Amino acid sequence: MTLSHTALVVGATGLSGGYLGRLLKSEGWQVVSLSRGVETLAFSDRHIAVDLSDRAAALAALGAVSDVTHVFFCTWSRQANEPENVRVNQAMVQNLFDGLAASPLQHAGLVTGLKHYLGSFDDYAAVKPYTPFLESQPRLPGLNFYYSQEDVLFAEAAKRGFTWAVHRPHTMIGLAVGNAMNMAMTLATYASICRETGRPFTFPGSVEQYHAVADVTDARILARQILWAATTPKAANTPFNITNGDVFRWTWLWAQIADYFGLPVGDYPGHPMPLEQQLADAPAIWAGIVQKHGLVDLPVGKLATWWHTDADLGRQIECFTDMTNSRRLGFADYQQTPQSFFDVFDEMRAQRLIPA
């Protein structure tokens, strides 16, 4: 890859954006990062600090950028309800493209997720989905900000002549401190608290999730698919599911995670035990663990998002995906799911985020 390719990574401090930015830089791309705050990122050649929901600020900040050939939208803004999710997140994508009016865009990639098949937060699983989720499935009725983001993407691509790809990961696995949706870091924090306090390491979710077939998405494989789709002509203008390429059941993966941390598996009670309720006292406990083990001094909320893992593991439906479009067009990457978790745990230990 030559320096004639300049990527704008929107949401560069997040899980998907951070892994993508590092991959692009390793492949020789010029990388422009964008987030709401001022950041110094090792992979970034230039950083733009702007809130894309502020149209005037977005147009001003992006108006100075005229060399972006590829843009990757890897963020979203959670609002109080789905009408507000649609309004804000659709506007962010529109403001982005309007701000890049002077750039010679060749490709735009949009990262969404499985709420494309499951429905919005307001209507989640109101229509029972069938599995595996197919990229060819029609949209569900009702508001969904993923659909609104796609509509802006499709309209801009048709108007300006660049190619597009939509990437739909399942639960993301990777390391990004402060990321709002990160199961691996949440489970590592939970396990560390259990080991320190003697609490049982018990699966906190639903019976359905405990026994069902599931899959997840390693942030590294998502980044590779995004790069592949952006540089493979036959992949143009295609939606892609993206997961590791294997499936698992929590009945046995939970035991492997327990073994990694040297913990016995707690007896599953047959009903959800939400982490947000179990760990209401986690802030004080974690502060003690940090002091005792000489860890990086971060509040527990920077490492764990109990609510998101509760929502993921508490689903009363089976969720896994089909990757026909990737396989048909030549993307055959694979990542073993247990190793995805263990790699994050290893990195957290190496960075002194959790005890060794």
Q: Which of 19, 25, 117, 146 is catalytic?
A: 146
* 146 classed as catalytic: yes
CA distances to 215, 251, 299 from 339, rounded to whole Å, are 13, 17, 26
Contact 205, 307 (CB under 8 A): no
**Neighbour tally for 64: CB within 10 Å:** 10
Helix (H, G, I), strand (E, B) or coil at 170: coil
* 115 classed as catalytic: yes
Q: Which residues contact 284 (CB under 8 A, 6 or more apart)?
A: none
**Neighbour tally for 271: CB within 10 Å:** 8
Residue 283's closest CA among 255, 302, 267, 262? 302
**Neighbour tally for 46: CB within 10 Å:** 14
Backbone angles phi, psi at 57, to 5 degrees: -65, -40
Q: Which of 115, 117, 210, 268 is catalytic?
A: 115
**Neighbour tally for 71: CB within 10 Å:** 29
What is the identity of the amino acid at 252? W
Cα gap 248→208, rounded to integer Å: 13
Q: Which residues are catalytic?
A: 115, 146
